[in-house]
Chains A and B, each alone.
Chain A
Amino acid sequence: MSDIITLENITYVYSPGTPYEKKALDNISVSFEKGTVTGIIGHTGSGKSTLVRLLNGLERPSSGRVLLDGEDIWLKPKSIGKIRFRVGLVMQYPEYQLFEETVRKDIAFGPKNMKLPEDEIERRVRETAKTVGLSEEVLDMAPFDLSGGRKRRAAIAGVMAMTPEVLILDEPAAGLDPEGRKKVFDAISAYKEEHGATVIIVSHSMEDMAERCDRLCILNNGRIAAYGNSGDIFGDPSVLIGAGLDVPEITAVAYKLSERGLKLGKAVFTVSDAAEAVAEILKGRKAGSDGMGKGGFTL
């Protein structure tokens, strides 16, 4: 498959030339493949939000190029606005951007800025409301009257209604309860299915990302610590731990075990996973086969 967005040697410096100068991204090169779901993981301050703001041209890189479909997005700085309709960004806590009297009007705000005809706007509002699971009544309510989870989905719908080819979400589930998180992620999957879009999700929660992402990009202090298939990355938690991420305790235990020679076969994130994996090994040992490494580990 082909790449839709490519970052080439991107460096980004905040407030250059002042005492507050801060290099947020340091010579980053990475490509996002068309139609995939990529997760960007990193601890707070590792540069995730800066990275995604570069992708839709909200920030201009200090050096390096951002390519969309092979074309430098800053070639014509005057028309950078058009890029933002192709690469939609849902910022962190997007509910704070709601401002219209009704949810319907707010979702229509983006398409209106695209200068689409009225009936097309109307159609998109209804369609995206369905995608994110907001009912017809909710559309006529004031956004400030909605519950936290619905507000979040209304705000996400506001970006989806512009039907971007690439949908980027910065911590889309932050601060929501489990049910709210699930609904948000369901909405994202639904959008991807309907439009065949490329999705990039920023998070620092491993559990959310493990099952939902095809690719993972681990950021650490403005550099890419690892990039690859999510199975591979989660198979070796040392990278995650090295990047200062909080892996679940049981994952850390499993990693410690594997360091000492007891390979569990796959990455575990829950205690029951680990129990199964250990049971598997014990079964293997009873059957006489060698489930252990050379270390002569005894349980």
Chain B
Amino acid sequence: MSRSITLGQYYPASSVLHRADGRMKLILTVVFMVMCFLCKSLASFALLLLFTLGLVFASTVPLKIVLKSVRMIIFILIFTFVLNIFFTPGTGEPLLAFWIFRVYKDGIWKAFFMSFRVFCLVIGTGLLISYTTSPVDITHSIESLLMPLSKIGIPVHSFAMMMFIALRFIPTLSDDAEKIMTAQRSRGVDFSSGPLMGRIRSLVSVLIPLFVSSFRRADELAVAMECRCYHGGEGKTSLHVMKVRFSDFVILFVFLAVAAGTVLLNGIKFGYSM
């Protein structure tokens, strides 16, 4: 079903980033985060911006959609900006002073840098994970990366299976919920207007059937899995065999090179540096 995969922000395409190994992308995300926090000078921030734009281009996700994720964190951005502008201690004369607030030139620079950092962080990690990796791939990747922990008795596979089933059933249940709501609307329920108490009561007409159907589905799934001799134990092989390819290492190399680049560019003291 086409609708089932609209879960999260996944943007179906087959770009370089989409094809890259999920585990590698998780690692790259960490590299990217570190990179964002390494940036300290105007020059390194410029490189970061360029690189982030490069990622957008490489992912083939339209810029409009990418910027949507920024809209969600607009308040965090504003908060970061305001906090930095007013509470950065500076040297020399403040540009502005009122009550307990002092605005220094350093504060303005820092406010820009910090909010820019958050901005790039959100776009970069979004591109590496949410936009180009399907939830199922993310689960498999996390499972694979955490597998060593099963040596010390942590049931990594069971956790991954639980997460996988939960993910798998989100669209199914939301489909169910939608169907039940439509059915009740056909019987004259109005979910979107009317008095609050009435609306809460009308939710009952959705929640009860939804509970019934999710228990039924859980039961059916358990039986189906048992019929196929699922035991979740040792030796279970996976349908999705993950393989790190040469291109994944090339991408990793590019990330590390850019990270090194930002560190080098920190040395160029132009404008302002933290």
A144 to B186, CA, bound (A): 21
Residues of chain A from 55 to 92 with CB closer than 8 A to chain B in the complex: 56, 58, 81, 84-85, 88-91
A99→B209 contact, CB < 8 A: yes
Tell whether, in the assembled complex, residue B187 and residue A53 are in contact, meaning their CB atoms are under 8 Å apart.
no
**Contact among A19, A58, A110, A158 with B12 in the assembled complex (CB-CB below 8 Å):** A19
Residue B125 is within 8 A (CB to CB) of chain A in the complex: no
Whether A159 contacts B187 by the Cβ 8 Å rule is: yes
CA distance A81 to B12 in the complex (A): 37
The answer on a CB contact under 8 Å between B185 and A58 is: yes
On whether the beta carbons of B176 and A96 are closer than 8 Å, the reply is yes
Picked from A85, A98, A144, the residue with its CB within 8 Å of the CB of B188 is A85
- Please state if B183 and A97 are interface contacts (CB–CB under 8 Å): yes
Per the 8 Å Cβ criterion, residues 140-182 of B in contact with A are 176, 179-180, 182
> Which size bracket describes the interface of B in this complex?
20 to 34
Q: Which residues of B contact A158 (CB under 8 A)?
A: 187
Q: Is B238 located at the chain interface by the 8 A CB criterion?
A: no
Give every chain A residue within 8 A of B189 (Cβ-Cβ). Answer: 113
Given contacts A91-B182, A99-B205, A110-B187, contact A20 B212 (CB under 8 A): no
The answer to whether A91 and B185 touch (CB under 8 A), given A19-B11, A20-B6, is: no
Residue-wise, chain B 1-22 has the 8 Å CB interface mask toward A (1 for contact) of: 0110010000110000000000
The minimal Cβ–Cβ distance linking A12 to chain B, given in whole angstroms, is 15
Contact (Cβ within 8 A) B213 A99? no
Contacts of A85 in B (CB 8 A): 188
- Which among B179, B186, B188, B208 has the highest number of chain A CB atoms within 10 Å? B186
With A19-B11, A96-B180 known to touch, is A159 a contact of B186 (CB < 8 Å)?
yes
1/0 contact trace for B128-139 toward A, CB 8 Å? Answer: 000000000000
The residue of chain B having its C-beta at the shortest distance from the C-beta of A95 within the complex is B209
Q: Does A114 contact B (CB under 8 A)?
A: yes
Would you call A109 and B205 a contact (CB within 8 A)?
yes
Least Cβ distance of B16 to chain A in Å? 18
Q: How far is the CB of B61 from chain A (nearest CB, A)?
A: 10
A91 touches B186 (CB 8 A): yes
A84–B186 touching, CB < 8 Å:
yes
- Is B200 positioned at the interface, with any CB of A under 8 Å from its CB? no
Does A162 sit at the interface, judged by CB under 8 A? yes
- The answer, among A20, A56, A58, for a CB contact under 8 Å with B3, is A20
Quote the shortest CB–CB distance from A68 to chain B (angstroms). Answer: 15
Q: Is the CB of B2 within 8 A of A97?
A: no
Identify the closest chain A residue to B208 (Cβ): A99
Residue of A nearest to B11 (CB): A19
A90 cross-chain contacts in B, Cβ below 8 A: 186
Given the interface pairs A96-B180, A99-B204, the reply to whether A109 lies near B187 with Cβ below 8 Å is yes
**B188 & A91 in contact (Cβ 8 Å cutoff):** no
Mark out the residues of chain A between 150 and 172 whose CB falls within 8 Å of any chain B CB in the assembled complex.
158-159, 162
Interface centre among B179, B183, B209, B213, by most chain A C-beta atoms within 10 angstroms, is: B183
Interface status of B184 (Cβ within 8 A of chain A): yes
Residues A98 and B187 in contact, CB atoms below 8 Å apart: no
The answer to whether A97 touches B185 (Cβ under 8 A) is no
Asked whether A22 is an interface residue with its Cβ less than 8 Å from the other chain, the reply is yes
Q: Is the CB of A96 within 8 A of B209?
A: yes
In the complex, are the beta carbons of A97 and B188 less than 8 A apart?
A: no
| CA distance in complex: A25, B184 (Å) | 24
Measured in the bound complex, the distance between the Cα atoms of B183 and A96 in whole Å is: 9
Least CB distance from A94 to B in Å reads 6
Q: Across the interface, which residues of B come within 8 angstroms of A97, CB to CB?
A: 180, 183-184, 187, 205, 209
Q: Interface code A94-122, partner B: CB below 8 Å = 1, 0 otherwise?
A: 10111100000000011001100000000
Known: A20-B3, A20-B6, A99-B204. A162 touches B187 (CB 8 A): yes
Contact with A along B215-235 (1 / 0, CB 8 A): 000000000000000000000
Query: B262 to chain A: closest CB distance in Å?
Result: 33
Residues of A within 8 A of B186 (CB): 56, 58, 84, 88-91, 159
How far is the CB of B210 from the nearest CB of chain A, in Å? 9
The docked-state distance in angstroms from the alpha carbon of A113 to that of B191 is: 12
**Interfacial chain A residues near B183, Cβ < 8 Å:** 91, 94, 96-97
The smallest beta-carbon distance between B198 and chain A, in angstroms, is 10
User: Judging by beta carbons under 8 Å apart, are B190 and A81 in contact?
Assistant: yes
Q: Give bound CA distance, A20 to B185, whole Å.
A: 25
Q: In the complex, A144→B215 CA distance in Å? A: 13
Is B188's CB under 8 angstroms from A162's CB?
A: yes
The interface residues of chain A lying within 8 Å CB-to-CB of B3 are 15, 20
Pairs of residues from A and B, 4 with the lowest C-beta to C-beta distance, nearest first: A113-B188, A97-B183, A99-B208, A110-B187
Q: Would you mind naming 14 contact pairs between A and B with Cβ atoms under 8 Å apart?
A: A19-B11, A20-B3, A58-B185, A58-B186, A84-B186, A84-B187, A91-B186, A96-B176, A96-B209, A99-B208, A110-B187, A114-B188, A158-B187, A159-B186
Interface residues of A, Cβ cutoff 8 Å to B: 15, 18-20, 22, 53, 56, 58, 81, 84-85, 88-91, 94, 96-99, 109-110, 113-114, 144, 158-159, 162
Besides A96-B212, A159-B187, 9 more A-B contacts (Cβ < 8 Å) are: A53-B182, A58-B182, A81-B190, A90-B186, A97-B183, A97-B209, A158-B187, A162-B187, A162-B188
Which positions in B face A, CB cutoff 8 Å? 2-3, 6, 11-12, 176, 179-180, 182-190, 204-205, 208-209, 212-213
